[in-house]
Amino acid sequence: MKTTHKPPNTATREQTVRVLYVMGLLLVLPALAHAQGSPFDSGLTSIQTLFTGTVAKVASLVAIVMGGYGFAHGDPGAKKNLAGVAAGTGIAVLAVNVLTWLWGV
């Protein structure tokens, strides 16, 4: 018996190549997009550094001095104000440590 080889169907081959190409793109593009990160990361990081760095320490120092002045001159709500200053200072200055502790940021 004589066997004849048929050439592969070029339409099927082209469809297979297209499907493999699309599947490759679907697998690679999300990985590339994830590697770049968010476009807001640098801006938000600089704002976080601003409000938890030098600005927070200077504002805390000013608030402590003003609270101490009010306490020294017998303001009726000075103890309550100083407690608020202490809590606010702790939140502003130690926020970075809390974020690192909670989420590893």
- Burial of residue 34, with CB atoms counted within 10 A of its CB: 0-12 exposed, 13-18 middle, 19 or more buried: exposed
The answer to the question of residue 83 being in a domain is: yes
| Phi and psi based region of residue 95 (left: phi greater than 0; alpha: psi -120 to 50; beta: remaining) | alpha
The answer as to whether 68 is a domain residue is yes
Classify residue 88: in a domain, yes or no: yes
**Does some domain include residue 64?**
yes
Q: Indicate the pLDDT class of residue 31, thresholds 50, 70 and 90.
A: confident
Which domain covers residue 74, as residue numbers? 53-103
Angle at CA of residue 86, ends 80 and 88, nearest 5°: 100
Q: Is residue 91 part of a domain?
A: yes
Q: What is the pLDDT of residues 78-103, one digit of tens each?
A: 888 888 888 888 887 787 777 777 77
> Going by C-beta distance under 8 Å and a sequence separation of 6 or more, which residues neighbour residue 16?
none
Q: Is residue 3 part of a domain?
A: no
The number of domains in the chain is 1
Question: Averaged over 26-44, what is the pLDDT?
Answer: 73
Report phi then psi at 63, rounded to 5: -65, -40
What sign has the CA pseudo-torsion 77, 82, 83, 87? positive
Using alpha carbons, select from 79, 57, 58 the residue that is nearest to residue 70. 79
| Residue closest to 65 by CA, chosen among 83, 80, 85 | 85
Q: Is the per-residue pLDDT at 51 higher than 80? A: no
The verdict on residue 73 lying in a domain is: yes
In a domain, 48, yes or no: no
Residue 72 has pLDDT above 80, yes or no: yes
